[in-house]
Structure 1
Amino acid sequence: MKKSKLFGGLVLTASLFLAACGNGGTTADSSASESSSTVAAEPTTVKIGLVSESAVEIWEAVAERLEDENIDLEIVKFTDYNQPNIALDNGELDLNAFQHVAFLENYNANNDADLTPIGFTFVSPLGIYSDKYADYSEIQDGDTIAIPNDVTNGGRALLLLQAIDLITLDNATGTTPTVNDIIENPKNLNIEELDAAQLPRSLEDAGAAVINTNFAVDAGLVPTEDALYLDTDNIQEVLDIYKNVVAARAEDVDNEVYKKVVAAYQTEETKALIAETTANTDIPAWD
Structure 2
Amino acid sequence: MNRRLFVSALSVSALSALALAGCGKSRTAGDPDTLTIAATAVPHAEILEFVKPALAKQGVKLEVRVFNDYVQPNTQVAEGRIAVNYFQTEPYLAEFNKAHGTRLVTIAGIHVEPFGAYSRRWKALGQLPDGAVVAIPNEPSNSGRALLLLAKAGLIALRDPKCVSATPKDIVTNPRHLKFRELEAATLPRVLDQVDLALINTNYALDAGLDPARDALTIEGKDSPYVNFIVGPESARKDPKVQKLVAALRTPAVKAFIERKYAGAVIPAF
Instruction: Give the TM-score, by structure 1 length.
Output: 0.80
Paired position in structure 1 for 2:101: 112
Paired position in structure 2 for 1:197: 186
Q: Deviations over 1:153-189 (max 9, x none)?
A: 1110010111111111102772211111011111111
Q: Deviations over 1:53-92 (max 9, x none)?
A: 3322211111111001111000000011111000100011
Q: Deviations over 1:224-246 (max 9, x none)?
A: 011011112xx34x33xx11100
Q: Deviations over 1:131-161 (max 9, x none)?
A: 0111111111011000111110111001011
Match of 1:257 among 219, 241, 257: 241
Matched, 1:277 2:245: no
Paired position in structure 2 for 1:64: 53
Q: Alignment identity in percent? A: 37
Secondary structure at 1:253 match in 2: helix
Structure 2: how far apart are the matches of 1:89 and 1:97? 13
Structure 1: how far apart are the matches of 2:220 and 2:73? 25
Secondary structure at 1:171 match in 2: coil
Supply the AA of the counterpart residue of 2:200.
I
Paired position in structure 2 for 1:159: 148
Structure 2: how far apart are the matches of 1:72 and 1:97? 16
Structure 2: how far apart are the matches of 1:112 and 1:126? 27
Question: For the Cα contact (< 8 Å) 1:223–1:279, is it kept in 2?
Answer: no
Question: For the Cα contact (< 8 Å) 2:205–2:211, is it kept in 1?
Answer: yes
Q: CA RMSD in A?
A: 1.4
Question: For the Cα contact (< 8 Å) 1:126–1:212, is it kept in 2?
Answer: yes
Q: Deviations over 1:223-282 (max 9, x none)?
A: 0011011112xx34x33xx11100111122222221111101111221122223323221
Paired position in structure 2 for 1:38: none
Paired position in structure 2 for 1:142: 131
Structure 2: how far apart are the matches of 1:127 and 1:172? 18
Structure 2: how far apart are the matches of 1:201 and 1:169? 27
Equivalent residues in 2 for 1:69-108 (5 A)? 69-108=58-97
Structure 2: how far apart are the matches of 1:79 and 1:206? 22
Secondary structure at 2:209 match in 1: coil
Structure 2: how far apart are the matches of 1:53 and 1:173? 28
Supply the AA of the counterpart residue of 1:277.
K
Paired position in structure 2 for 1:243: 227
Paired position in structure 2 for 1:26: none
Supply the AA of the counterpart residue of 2:258.
I
Supply the AA of the counterpart residue of 1:247.
V
Supply the AA of the counterpart residue of 1:190.
K
Structure 1: how far apart are the matches of 2:217 and 2:48? 29
Shift of residue 115, structure 1, vs aligned partner:
0.7
Matched, 1:177 2:177: no
Equivalent residues in 2 for 1:206-245 (5 A)? 206-232=195-221, 235-236=222-223, 238-239=224-225, 242-245=226-229
Structure 1 unaligned regions, length at least 5: 1-41
Question: For the Cα contact (< 8 Å) 1:143–1:207, is it kept in 2?
Answer: yes
Structure 2 unaligned regions, length at least 5: 1-30
- Given the superposition, is the C-alpha separation of residues 227 and 173 from structure 1 closer, same or farther in structure 2, using an over 3 Å criterion? closer
Q: Which has the larger radius of gyration?
A: 1
